[in-house]
């Protein structure tokens, strides 16, 4: 699995919006400035996020973007899947199915499928809220 900069930036955009809910709709320029990401690049990212109904948009002077729901209602997997073409560990696996002419004889397919399932399960277990608070990774001493 290789998460592209587009996927990483999508998470940063979602986190930025989640950190400023009191601001209502936030302009893309504000997010770009805060995150140090070009407006042009962000436009394509938020277009995908909007199409997946992960963010809402509003036009006009007070327009911009905001989350469609509470941060706890988003998973990292959901966000990445709307941006990334494939999160599988190998090219022959996509969305859980195997697309390879050698799959029937390939002894590594079960391992790759299991790794794909584990990765997806983990990404589904991490919410935007988990990233915001960091509590999921704090160890008790």
pLDDT tens digits, 15-37: 999 999 999 999 999 999 999 99
pLDDT score for 68:
96
pLDDT score for 139:
77
pLDDT tens digits, 73-115: 999 999 999 999 888 888 888 776 788 888 888 899 889 989 9
Predicted structure pTM score: 0.88
Residue 140 pLDDT more than 70?
no
CA distance 140 to 134: 13
What domains can be seen in the chain, in order of their start residue? 1-141 (1.10.10.10)
């Amino acid at each position: 699995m290789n998460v592209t900069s587009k996927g990483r930036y999508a998470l940063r955009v979602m986190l930025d919006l989640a950190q400023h809910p009191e601001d209502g709709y936030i302009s893309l320029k504000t997010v770009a400035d805060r995150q140090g990401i070009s407006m042009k690049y962000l436009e394509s990212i938020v277009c995908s996020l909007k199409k997946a109904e992960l963010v809402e948009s509003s036009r006009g002077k007070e327009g911009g973007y905001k989350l469609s729901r509470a941060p706890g209602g988003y998973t990292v997997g959901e966000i990445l899947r709307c941006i990334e073409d494939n999160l599988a560990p190998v090219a022959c696996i996509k969305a859980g199915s195997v697309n390879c002419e050698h799959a029937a004889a390939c002894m590594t397919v079960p391992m790759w499928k299991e790794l794909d399932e584990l990765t997806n399960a983990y990404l589904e277990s991490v919410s935007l809220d988990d990233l915001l608070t960091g509590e999921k990774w704090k160890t008790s001493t």
